Structure 1
Amino acid sequence: MKRTGISIWLGLLAAPAVVLGAQSLNYALVQLACASGQHAALDAVSAVAFMFSVIAAWVAYRCWRGTAGRFDGSYAPRDARQPFLALMAMLTAALCALIQLTMWFPQWLLSPCR
């Protein structure tokens, strides 16, 4: 039960926090990247944030597939709560991975000094 809860919170809270933190860190590193002419630090931060979001989505997906089962037609709020939260964690982490990828893409094309 505890492992499932951690899997859900990784996708729901940690993935968006890591993506926002990566964006803040990239903004802080722009002057260093412009001065040195290398943007490897910017790429490393973005890659770590992207991989974290992908891993969080995968862990939430496994949690969702492990907890989701067939429910009868009756209303069972406690039985459906954990699979729903795991599904939302998977979707949130996948969206964070997509957002991080779209924020990383201009770094490939543009100079950090622009």
Structure 2
Amino acid sequence: MKTWLGLLAAPALVLGAQSADYALVQFACRWGTRAPLNAVSAVAFVLCATATALAYRKWRATAAPFAASYDTRAARGACLALAATVVGALSTLIQVTMWFPQWLLSPCR
């Protein structure tokens, strides 16, 4: 399950956060605060980073040196966990880069 969080949930969180931010722009402008946008982005960032950390821990637990005649099934879990770690890290980076303009630009523009 830790692998699937990094592989599927992290990109879905980034897309969901972007959709929620677009939906909340009118309210943020009307209320004169960036708090709703920052809250959505912060929660998405924390959840993406958590999913990445779980995938990384799973990768480190399953990645072990294999003998030259190893069974390919044993290596599949480590490879999938590594892919989940990379996808989760990329999703976390994308979330930060989408959050950064919210600090600089007004939601009313």
Give the TM-score normalised by the residue count of structure 1.
Answer: 0.93
- 1:27 aligned onto 2:22: yes
Letter paired with 1:99: I
Partner of 1:67: 62
Structure 1 gaps of 5+ residues are 1-5
- Which stretch of the first structure deviates more once superposed, 68-77 or 31-40? 68-77
C-alpha displacement at 1:74, in angstroms? 2.5
1:104 counterpart residue number: 99
Cα deviation, residue 76, structure 1: 2.6
Q: Which residue of 2 aligns with 1:85?
A: 80
Residue 42 of structure 1 aligns with which residue? 37
Q: Alignment partner of 1:112: what SS?
A: coil
- Aligned with residue 48 of structure 2, among 47, 50, 53: 53
Amino acid at match of 1:92: V
Give CA deviations for 1:61-102 in whole Å, capped at 9, x if unaligned: 110011110111235310110000001101111100000000
Distance in 2 between residues matched to 1:85 and 1:38, nearest whole Å: 41
Q: Secondary structure at the match of 1:70?
A: coil
For 1:102, the aligned partner's letter is: T
Alignment TM-score, normalising by the size of structure 2 = 0.97
User: What residue identity is the alignment partner of 2:98?
Assistant: M
Q: Does residue 7 in structure 1 map to residue 2 in structure 2?
A: yes
Where does the alignment leave 5 or more consecutive residues of structure 2 unmatched?
Answer: none
Structure 1's consecutive aligned runs of 4 or more residues displaced over 3 angstroms after TM superposition are: none
Measure, in 2, the Cα distance between the counterparts of 1:24 and 1:86. Answer: 28
Distance across 2 between alignment mates of 1:80 and 1:31: 49
Q: Paired residues, what number?
A: 109
